[in-house]
Amino acid sequence: MIWNETKECMSRDQINNLQSARLRKMVKRAYHNVTFYRKKMQQIGLEPGDINGVEDLHKLPFTTKQDLRDNYPFGLFAVPQSQIVRVHASSGTTGKATVVGYTRRDIEIWQECVARVLAMAGVGSHDIIQVAYGYGLFTGGLGLHYGAENLGATVIPMSTGNTQKLITLMQDFKVTAIACTPSYLLHIAEVLEEAGQIDNTHLKVAICGAEPWTDNMRKQIETKLNIKAYDIYGLSEVMGPGVAADCKFHKGLHVYEDHFIPEIIHPETLEPCKEGEVGELVFTPITKEALPLIRYRTRDLTSITYDECECGRTIARISRFKGRSDDMLIIRGVNVFPSQVEAALLEMGETSPHYLMIVDRINNLDVLEVQVEVEERYFSDEIKQLDSLTKKIARALHTALGLSVKVRLVEPRTIERSQGKAKRVIDRRKFD
């Protein structure tokens, strides 16, 4: 079902006109209300009046995650704090979180976008949906929660962590839909399988996201659980989950262009890519009141098409993600930068700062192992001391990353030294 046919099936001209009008207003708001944008535009001699429409978008400067960090916590907000009704945050590379805010209107638009995603996946008011993303500062839980409520579905705010309970409630409540990371869903499927309960659910649809996955993984989920699975994409800086999602034809993720203008650029030259060419995805959210980002660089690599989809939607589609233009990893839905590990080790100061991160998917759950070299001056020949060092490192990394980490002590000088760019990460997960 198409939740908002007016907005999802406009002609290209209508889309351009709507985007242009909204972009003009948004640039004005950003220029007048956010010092950062005013300065940035003044530096290159640009005024809000120079932006007449989407065709002028390329004149505007980019915004990066670093800009959000530099203006921590509320520096990029365009409205007084009294108008902010909610704040979300994700962990940053250097300990400082990336903070995003929403006005009441921003939240309404978010709910609308998520409702569109769910409707596209065939979820409706008769459905009972378990939201098994983390609730809290992470946008996944609350984002899906309010979107599903807006749609009129019955929401079970499950959050993450207790698979057994999730399964019990899934069976007892006759849950028909679930929203969680794809790897977690495969894990749930395995637990069901082991208990001989795989055919004993009412589940028919899953909305999965917050981490990269493949078509093969989708098919695996669909076959194992005998359901349909859909891909949902988003990032907190731009809004949260619901910026884009796929329909039953699975030929790319539909971007809600009435709220977000997508661009694809070469990550090196920053020049626009041709339609269909792989590059870095850039978003300009044009209706956001609290945090009006201009040309936000997502670092996600993908391509775009403006062809009408078989489902009837005319809005642009982005292809499955091909990777990242930076070194960020997504582990169990949590964004992790290798530099966070380094910073945490240096801060702790009881190990060498040489480390190797090994990411793997074991029984469909992402596992992060961090190998750390033992330094001679911290080497004790008592196992108790070495164990307590291991635990201390694990605690420090857990605090820094928001993710449990398996720490492994290794001999000194066994981790490859930096000659140019050191190899800090081995990702054994298969995304192709």
Partner 1 sequence: MIIKQLSVFIENTEGILECVTDTLCKHNINIVSLSLVDASEYSVLRMIVSDPERGREVLKEEGLLAKLTDVIAVKTPQKPGMLHDILTAFRDANLHVKYMYTYSSSENYATVIMRLSKLDTALSLIKQKGYEVCTDKEAYEIVNLN
Give the footprint of partner 1 on residues 75-104 (CB under 8 A). Answer: none
Residues sharing a CB contact under 8 Å with residue 298, sequence separation 6 or more, in sequence order: 235, 237, 238, 280, 281, 282, 283
Query: What SS3 state is found at 413?
Result: coil
Nearer to partner 1 by Cβ, of 108 and 387: the residue is 387
Distance between alpha carbon 268 and the CA centroid of its chain, in Å? 22
Q: Residue for token digits 């749609």?
A: 151
Nearer to partner 1 by Cβ, of 270 and 409: the residue is 409
CB of 408 to partner 1, least distance (A): 5
Task: Please tell me the distance from the alpha carbon of residue 180 to that of residue 267, in angstroms, as a whole number.
Answer: 30
CB of 405 to partner 1, least distance (A): 14
Nearer to partner 1 by Cβ, of 268 and 382: the residue is 382
115-152 burial: b if 16+ Cβ within 10 Å, else e: bbbbbbbbbeeebbbbbbbbbebbbbbbbbbbbbbbbe
DSSP string, 47-84: -GGG--SGGGGGGSPPB-HHHHHHTTTTTT--S-GGGE
CB of 393 to partner 1, least distance (A): 12
Nearer to partner 1 by Cβ, of 197 and 414: the residue is 414
Q: Strand pairing of 177-180 and 128-131?
A: parallel
The interface mask with partner 1, positions 184-213, x = CB under 8 A, is ------------------------------
Contact between 207 and 118 (Cβ < 8 Å): yes
Sheet holding 425-427, edge to edge: 406-410, 365-373, 355-362, 425-427
The interface mask with partner 1, positions 403-432, x = CB under 8 A, is -----xxxxxxx------------------
CB of 363 to partner 1, least distance (A): 19
CB of 234 to partner 1, least distance (A): 38
CB of 336 to partner 1, least distance (A): 22
> How many chain residues bind partner 1 (CB under 8 A)?
17
Contact between 329 and 427 (Cβ < 8 Å): yes
Nearer to partner 1 by Cβ, of 25 and 406: the residue is 406
Query: What SS3 state is found at 145?
Result: helix
Nearer to partner 1 by Cβ, of 13 and 376: the residue is 376
Nearer to partner 1 by Cβ, of 271 and 381: the residue is 381
Residue at 318: amino acid letter: I
Nearer to partner 1 by Cβ, of 59 and 413: the residue is 413
The interface mask with partner 1, positions 352-381, x = CB under 8 A, is ----------------------x-x--x-x
Q: Which of the stretches 67-75, 175-183, 272-280, 385-393 binds partner 1 when contact is defined by CB under 8 A?
A: 385-393
Task: Please tell me the distance from the alpha carbon of residue 26 to that of residue 96, in angstroms, as a whole number.
Answer: 27
Nearer to partner 1 by Cβ, of 306 and 378: the residue is 378
CB of 380 to partner 1, least distance (A): 8
Exactly one of 383, 417, 420, 432 binds partner 1 (CB under 8 A); that residue is 383
320-350 burial: b if 16+ Cβ within 10 Å, else e: bbeebbeebbbbbbbbbbbebbbbbbeebee
Q: Which stretches within 195-337 are classed as H helix?
A: 215-225
Total residue length of the chain: 432
CB of 364 to partner 1, least distance (A): 23
Give the footprint of partner 1 on residues 15-34 (CB under 8 A). Answer: none
Q: Which of the stretches 101-109, 264-272, 356-364, 402-410 binds partner 1 when contact is defined by CB under 8 A?
A: 402-410
The interface mask with partner 1, positions 104-123, x = CB under 8 A, is --------------------
Task: Please tell me the distance from the alpha carbon of residue 208 to that of residue 198, in angstroms, as a whole number.
Answer: 19
Q: Give the phi and the psi of residue 381 in degrees, each rounded to 5.
A: -90, 10
Give the footprint of partner 1 on residues 320-349 (CB under 8 A). Answer: none
Exactly one of 382, 417, 430, 432 binds partner 1 (CB under 8 A); that residue is 382
Nearer to partner 1 by Cβ, of 276 and 412: the residue is 412
Binding site for partner 1 (CB under 8 A): 374, 376, 379, 381-384, 386-387, 390, 408-414
